[in-house]
Amino acid sequence: MMRMTQINHPAPRLAALLLAGVTAFGADQVLPPIDRLGIGDVPPIPIALSGYTGEVAQVLEFDLEVVGFKVVPESTSGLQYILSGKNDGRVEGTLRDAVSKQSRLHKAYGGTSLRQQAHGLADDVVKEVLGLPGIARTRIAFKRDLGRRSELYISDYDGYGAAAITSDGSVVAAPCWAPGKNLLVYTTYLAGNPDIMSHDLSTGKRAYVARYSGSNISPAVSPDGGRVAMIMSKGGSPDLYVADIDGSNLRQLTKTPEDESSPCWSPDGRTICFSTRIGGRRTLATIPVAGGAVKRLNTSGAVNPSEPAWSPDGKWIAFTSQRRDFEICVVPAAGGTARTVAVGEDPSWSPNSRTLVMVQRDKQANRTLSVLDVLTKQRKTLATGLGSCSQPTWAR
């Protein structure tokens, strides 16, 4: 039986990088729910900014456009909202309806940096207009590619303030947040073999979760933070396993000659979606966590699907499809016709189930991170300043 091994590791600058909480979904959404609108078919909401300068103006534009607004001049025909204020020492904001002229929000911010105050204002605008929790104060984790080695980083969701989590001089892969915990689980080659490790970001303490012979890869933590799904080849071919977050109570869910990969959990914790082959063709499939039959997930219109990500509201599964290029597609969680929303790979949903963080490649195959509003297809590149980055995961 495998024994847990603890490894202590410093936690650089982590106190400032704790995940900010988000509120529950509002009941008075101006827009209908995502499943009644059609992916990529929604025009952005025109909003004008007045009185903001420098970094605050840039932050507000970024934050608002990745959740469906479009910052335009105040003279634009069809303008719906005006956000006016100032950022002289502190950020202040008044949101007015450009049609009715009524004030919807008036608030001043303080106690943090101007950047964080601007994030707070953007989140409040999103809550007021869309009835959704904002994502501007959330965090992501990702892999920084350094030639033959790689390290893990976390940053604000827009790439700002990136800080190293590992400094092993080895290879890491597939970071995954444990929901509700300041904890990452990921694959590491620190001991020469692909093993799975948990990493407490508050203390820096690390512990092996799966360290069996063969591959131990692709960890995915359950919505309650108590279990982890992973792909292991300890029995021969790569199969899907589930264990408690400390590696105990290991159970094998699949036993096939195919190469399973990239598991993700349904929000209720009852089902796992993963990539496999059925009838010789790459496909997505689901299996009950309690055990049972593997069921193919229909992704009509997409080929070679992999890297599924289940939206927190349970309605959608985003995944990577590979034709000539890598494409991000979205399909109903029950299966159906897939919609292509962007060129890219490695999707991960935001906590409000509207925005995706993903990887995009340029013509030289350099990889950068970007965030995409799924409804309007508006996309922003993250300025991490770290060169090639990949495998992003959104904290919840």
Going by pLDDT thresholds of 50, 70 and 90, the confidence category of residue 17 is: very low
- Decide if pLDDT at 377 tops 80: yes
CA distance 134 to 219: 27
pLDDT at residue 39, rounded to an integer: 62
Interval 222-244 mean pLDDT: 95
Kindly state whether residues 316 and 193 are assigned to the same domain.
yes
Give per-residue pLDDT as tens, 87-117: 999 999 999 999 999 999 999 999 999 999 9
pLDDT at residue 302, rounded to an integer: 94
Give per-residue pLDDT as tens, 197-209: 999 999 999 999 9
Q: What percent of the chain lies above the pLDDT cut of 70?
A: 90
What Å distances lie between residue 205 and 183, 184, 199, CA to CA? 10, 11, 6
**CATH number for the domain harbouring residue 100:** 3.40.50.10070
Kindly state whether residues 82 and 194 are assigned to the same domain.
no
Interval 7-29 mean pLDDT: 34
CA distance 52 to 206: 43
Kindly state whether residues 117 and 185 are assigned to the same domain.
no
Kindly state whether residues 224 and 338 are assigned to the same domain.
yes
Domain boundary among 82, 111, 130: 130
Kindly state whether residues 38 and 152 are assigned to the same domain.
no
**CATH number for the domain harbouring residue 264:** 2.120.10.30
Kindly state whether residues 196 and 73 are assigned to the same domain.
no
252 in any annotated domain: yes
CA distance 282 to 260: 10
Number of domain units in the chain: 2
13 in any annotated domain: no
246 in any annotated domain: yes
Going by pLDDT thresholds of 50, 70 and 90, the confidence category of residue 40 is: low
Average pLDDT, the chain: 90
Give per-residue pLDDT as tens, 171-216: 999 999 999 899 999 999 999 999 999 999 999 999 999 999 999 9
CA distance 46 to 190: 49
Domain boundary among 80, 98, 130: 130
Going by pLDDT thresholds of 50, 70 and 90, the confidence category of residue 38 is: low
Kindly state whether residues 84 and 108 are assigned to the same domain.
yes
Kindly state whether residues 333 and 193 are assigned to the same domain.
yes
28 in any annotated domain: no
- The domain in which residue 89 lies consists of 33-130
- Decide if pLDDT at 36 tops 90: no
CA distance 379 to 396: 21
Going by pLDDT thresholds of 50, 70 and 90, the confidence category of residue 279 is: confident
Kindly state whether residues 288 and 377 are assigned to the same domain.
yes
pTM, whole model, 2 decimals? 0.89
Kindly state whether residues 40 and 85 are assigned to the same domain.
yes
* Residue that wins the pLDDT comparison between 29 and 218: 218
Kindly state whether residues 206 and 58 are assigned to the same domain.
no
50 in any annotated domain: yes
Interval 292-300 mean pLDDT: 95
Domain boundary among 130, 163, 186: 130
pLDDT at residue 323, rounded to an integer: 83
Q: What percent of the chain lies above the pLDDT cut of 90?
A: 83
Interval 202-231 mean pLDDT: 97
What Å distances lie between residue 114 and 55, 59, 76, 88, 279, CA to CA? 8, 10, 28, 9, 56
Kindly state whether residues 198 and 297 are assigned to the same domain.
yes
18 in any annotated domain: no
Give per-residue pLDDT as tens, 325-351: 899 999 999 999 999 999 999 999 999
Q: Residue type at 150?
A: S
CA trace torsion 372, 26, 82, 122 (10° rounding): -50
220 in any annotated domain: yes
Q: Which of 156, 192, 201, 157 is nearest to 171 (CA)?
A: 192
23 in any annotated domain: no
